[in-house]
Amino acid sequence: MALLLDVIEFVDPQNRSLIQRIPRDGSADISYGTQLIVHQNQEAVFFRDGAAMDIFGPGRHTLTTANVPVITQLLTMPWKKSPFRALVYFVGKQTFIDQKWGTRQPLTMGDKEFGVVPLRGFGKYSFRVTDSTILINQLVGTQGKYTTDEVSHYLRDQIVARLTDLLGTFDIGVLDLPERFDELGTATRVRAADAFAKYGLELVDFVISALVPPPDLQKSIHAETQKKQPLRGPLHRRRLPPIYAISSGQLARPRSIWRP
């Protein structure tokens, strides 16, 4: 039996929810005269028969045949007294910042000196909803994804796929990656734009924090950088370069190791 709703509202105190389904399971019986409360940075989308219908912006709305026209047109009975059955998705319209991404499996890139190099990567990105109808129809109606976590996981996979493609086309070596992070991040954001737009989303920012080779390769890179950096000071106190890790903007430099 469907839930009968007199007031429809979703309160997001942390302002971090992308999509919230009301009710969480099944559908609801919604009568004309029901109060719909939509908070700032939200849109409410009525969903029925597998598709997004009427959309409401911020404010307090009393549902009538006039402001739910799409659903009203689908009804074949005089529904002025009887409820109609549907569910509502509340979509967050704020910019979702500090979203983390990472590689489940190593990315690969070709290097003239080190051959095929596997890299673990991670960083942050931000995105926002540009079209709630497309988001609901594509990710909810087609993909069956409607929780914030499900959508975020899907977006991370889209980003990593584009980054993987770019690493295969960039004519750079592993040693040169850190100084090209900004360029690589911008190119990834541009390449992912169409994939995000397909779901009514915009990738606002994309940041690469690190691309890290495996430990054995780090040792080889360590040796290579040591060759290129002249040793200074007394021979009995040679300062060895730190373990090499590719990170945003510069080489990661843990505490130096001294050997006699």
Report the percentage of the chain scoring pLDDT > 70: 77
Q: What is the pLDDT averaged over residues 97-106? A: 92
Q: At residue 249, does pLDDT exceed 50?
A: no
Per the structure block, which two tokens stand in for 128? 């926002």
Query: What whole-number percentage of the chain has pLDDT above 90?
Result: 37
Average model confidence (pLDDT) for the chain?
79
Q: Which residues contact 19 (CB under 8 A, 6 or more apart)?
A: 89, 90, 91, 92, 135, 136, 140, 146, 147, 148, 151
pLDDT of residue 72: 65
Looking at residue 230, its pLDDT comes to 54
| Mean pLDDT, residues 32-40 | 91
Strand (E) or helix (H) holding 89 = strand 84-92
Rounded distance between C-alpha atoms, residue 93 and residue 12, angstroms: 12
Contacts of 260 (CB under 8 A, 6+ apart): 236, 237
For residue 9, the tally of other CB atoms under 10 A from its CB is: 16
Q: Is 115 left (phi over 0), alpha (psi -120 to 50) or beta?
A: left
Q: Are 65 and 83 in contact (CB under 8 A)?
A: no
pLDDT tens per residue across span 188-243: 999 999 999 999 999 999 999 999 888 888 887 777 667 665 544 433 333 333 33
Burial code (b: 16+ CB inside 10 Å, e: under 16) for 112-142 equals eebeebebbbebebebbbebbbbbbbbbbee
Please, what CATH class does the domain formed by 96-211 belong to?
alpha beta
Task: Please state the domain extents for the chain.
Answer: 3-92, 96-211, 216-259
In terms of Cα–Cα distance, which of 102, 104, 125 is closest to 192? Answer: 125
